[in-house]
Amino acid sequence: MKYHAACMLVLAWALLYSPEGREWDVVDEYPSEWSCLQGRTGNVDREVQQAIGGALASQPADNPMRQAAYARAERRITAQYRCSYTKD
């Protein structure tokens, strides 16, 4: 009985604290690490520009409000991408 209760507790914890919406999906496949990092950088930059909005994106790069908004969005969006390598 204790085993069943422990399993149910672990299952409930996993469902409660699962990272919903944070799964990694294959977006593009690249032939090398360098090209993957370049593609990832481009994807992150494009999505960050969209996330901070047109008004802040059009501001000069040294604008403190733009820099802060860019840094927040970049941290959030970068966490959604990763490069994965498999050896064939």
Look at residue 22 and tell me if it is in a domain. Answer: no
Count of domains in the chain? 1
83 located within any domain: yes
Domain presence at residue 50:
yes
Q: CA 30, CA 46: separation in Å to the nearest integer?
A: 18
Per-residue pLDDT of the chain (88 residues; tens, 9 = 90+): 677 788 777 777 666 666 555 555 566 677 788 888 888 888 888 888 888 888 888 889 899 999 999 999 999 888 888 787 665 5
Residue 23 forms part of a structural domain: no
Examine residue 6 and state whether it is found in any structural domain, yes or no.
no
Considering Cα of 46, then 47, then 49, then 55, what sign does the dihedral take?
positive
Stated pTM of the model: 0.57
Q: What is the DSSP letter of 32?
A: S
> Which structural domain range is residue 35 located in?
30-88
